Amino acid sequence: MSGSKANLNTILDQSYRECHDIILNSLKNDLQTLYSCIRVSRSFCRTFIPILWMNPFKFVKDEDRLVQIFNTLIHCLDQTWLVRQSIEIEQLLTPKAYFKYHTFIKEFELNTLQKAMRIWISIHLSNRNDLFRMSSERSRVSKLVFMINKCIGDLFFNKGGQYDSLNLFYNDFLSAILDISEFKNHKESLANVKKLSLGLFNSNGMELITPIAENFLKLQTAFSPNIQHLQILSINNSIRPNEFSRNLIDFIHTQRHLKSLLIHDFWKDEFEPFLKALRKHAKSLTFFKLECPILFTTHLSSMLRSLPNLITLELKFTPIPDGDASREISAASFSNLEHLNYDCCLSYHSTNHITLFKKILLSANHLKSLRVDDTYCLFIKEIQGQCFLNLTHFHLILHRSCAIMDSMSLVDLMELLRNLHQLIHLKLNTVLNRYRLLNRIESFKRFSQVLACSLKILEVNFPVSDEYLEVLFNESKFNLHCIKLYCYERTQDISLRVFIDYAKRNERFKELGITKEFKFSKELIEEARNRFNILIHTNSEINSPFYDVPIKDSYWCNRR
C-alpha cells in the first residue's frame, strides 16, 4: 500500500512538472475523472480541486448544483459577519470550506453568480411560512440581497482573485448589478484578463443602459490592452445608446492584438469609427463572428476586406438592398479561411450576399468546414463546376418546405455530396423536424452510394428507420467511426442489432450517439458495448461547431 501511495505522489512531484501539465490539460474538461482524482489522496485533492474550480459553474445545468456551489462560496465568507446577519451557517448543506475556493476561479461569470445567489437566497433566507408577504421580512431580505452581493463582490475582487476570463452579462435585475470598480483591489484582479464578454439582455428599455455604461467606463482603465478574445452581445435592438456604442468602439481600438471578435450590431450608427477600429486588428484577428438582424452587404464587405487573415468566419444576418458591393467583395481576401458559417436569409432583392458567398468559396483555398442552409446548394454546385472544394466537414441546414428525400431535393443533395471526395464529418440538420424517409428506398440507396469513402462521422436529426439504416450501412463505401441519431426512437432489440452487425463488419465503428436511454435486452446491450460505445447526447449538440470557439459561455451566463 505504501508503495502505491509513493507512486501516486511521484506523479505530482514538481520534478515531473512537464508531464504534470500534460496530464492536467488532458483532464480539465473530464469532470468524472477529476472528481475521481480528488478522492485518491490529499495530494491529489490539492492538485485537482483548483482545476475543478477554475470555473465551477461551467458544466452545471441544474439549480441544485448551482446552489451547492454558492453554498461553498458562502462558507468562504467571514463567518462572524454571517452570524451578525442571522445567517445560520450550520444549517447549510455544504460542509466547512477547507480551501479558499474563490482564489481558484479563473473564469468569472457575473450573471451565473447572480443567478446562483438569487436561488440560494430564495431557499435559505426566505421563510416558507409566507414571510415574503410581511413588509418587514421583505425589507430584511432585500437588505440581505444587497449586503451579500457586496460581500461576494469583495470576496472575488478584494481577496486575491486573479482572472483570465471575465463574463459580464447583465439582465433586467437592476438591483443585482455589481459595480466591480468599487472594490479597491479590482485592478489587480483584472490585470491579466485575456478573454472578455460583455452582454446586455434587457427587455425594459433604457433603464439599465446608464448604470451599465458607467460601470464599464470605470472598468476600462483596469483592463490591459492585451485582451485577445472579445465578445460584445445583445445590446437591445430598440435602443440606440450612441455614447455607449462609441465607448465600446473606443475600447476595441485601444486593444493591441485582438485574435477573436464576436459581436452584434451595437456599432450600427457608428460604422466608420467601428471600421477604423477593426482595421487596427487586420493582422492579428483570425476569428470573427457577426450577428445582425439586418445588414448592408456593402458594410459587411468593407469589414471583411479589412480582415485578410481570418481563419474562422461566422455570419448571421438578413441582407437589405444596398448599392453595388462588387468592388469591396472582389478586394476581400480569404486565402487563410478554414471555417465558414454562412447563415444568411436568401434574398433576390439584392444579390450582393450571393456574390460574397461565391467569392468566399472561390478564393478560400484552405476551406475545411462549411455550415450553410440548403438554399445555397445551387451556388455550391455552381462553384464545384469552377474549382475543387476540399471540404472535410459539412453541416447542411435543411430549410426547404419539401421533405429532404423528395425526388428534387435528394437529387440536389446527391449532386453536391458526390464531389466532396475528402469529406470526414457530415451533419444533416432539419429545422422543423418534419422530414421523413417514406417509400424512397431506391433513392436512398443512390444517396448512400455517393457518400465519400473518407466519411467517418455522420449526424442526422430526422427519423431514420432500421430499414434505411441497413441500406446506409450496406450500400455505402465508407467505414464510419461514429453515427449520431438525434431522433432515434427504437425500443426493439432488432434495432440495436443493426448497429452490432455493422460493427462486426467494420471494426472502426466505435460510437453510437442517441438522445435518450432505451430498454434493450441486457444481453444485447452488453454485446453492443463490447464493440462500441453508446453515448447520450442532447438535441442541441448537432449545432456544435466543428472548430474551437475562443469564448465558451456556461449554460447560465445569458439566462435570466
Give all domains of the chain, ordered by start, each with its CATH number.
1-52 (no CATH), 54-161 (no CATH), 384-560 (3.80.10)
The pLDDT score that the predictor gives to residue 24 is 59
Give 358's pLDDT tier (boundaries 50, 70, 90): very high
pLDDT band at 332 (very low <50, low <70, confident <90, very high): very high
| Minimum mean pLDDT range among 262-271, 343-352, 413-422, 522-531 | 343-352
Nearest Cα residue to 333 out of 366, 307, 297, 361: 307
Could you tell me which residues are beta bridge partners of residue 172? none
CA 406 – CA 104 distance, rounded (Å): 55
176: nearest Cα among 149, 201, 198, 209: 149
Distance CA 223, CA 220 (A): 6
Could you tell me the pTM of the whole model?
0.87
* The three grid cell numbers given for residue 145, joined into one nine-digit string: 440581497
Residue 389's pLDDT is 92
Instruction: Decide: helix, strand or coil at residue 261.
Output: strand
146 or 472, which is more confident?
472
**Residue 93: what pLDDT?**
54
Please check whether residue 336 is in contact with residue 308, taking contact to mean a CB–CB distance below 8 angstroms. yes
- Residue 268 predicted with pLDDT over 90: no
Tell me how crowded residue 165 is: count the other CB atoms within 10 A of its CB: 20
Q: Considering only residues 364 and 18, tell me which one the structure prediction assigns the higher pLDDT.
A: 364
Give pLDDT tens digits for 119-144: 888 787 665 445 445 555 566 666 77
| Residue 184: φ, ψ to 5° | -65, -30
Q: Is 313 helix (H, G, I), strand (E, B) or coil?
A: strand
Q: Identify which has the larger pLDDT, 217 or 372.
A: 372
Residue range 381-410, pLDDT digits in tens: 999 988 889 999 999 998 754 444 454 567
Among the residue ranges 30-34, 245-249, 487-491, the one predicted with the least confidence is 30-34
pLDDT of residue 142: 67
Q: For cell 472594490, name the residue.
A: 183
User: Looking at the predicted structure, is the pLDDT value of residue 13 above 80?
Assistant: no
Distances (CA, A) of 68 to 24, 38, 62, 72, 176: 25, 18, 10, 6, 20
* pLDDT: which is higher, 98 or 541: 541
Given a cut of 90, whether residue 261 has pLDDT beyond it is yes
6-10, 234-238, 534-538: least confident range: 6-10
DSSP letter at 216 equals H
pLDDT in tens, 476-496: 999 999 999 998 777 677 889
The 10s digit of each residue's pLDDT in 53-69 is 888 888 788 888 888 88
Task: Please state which of the ranges 230-239, 502-511, 540-549 shows the lowest mean pLDDT.
Answer: 230-239
Segments of 187-266 assigned E as strands: 195-200, 229-233, 260-263
Other CB atoms closer than 10 Å to residue 311's CB: what's the count?
A: 17
3-state SS assignment for residue 355: helix
Closest CA to 479 of 497, 464, 458: 458
Whether 482 contacts 457, CB under 8 Å? yes
pLDDT at 428: 93
The predicted pLDDT at position 150 comes to: 85
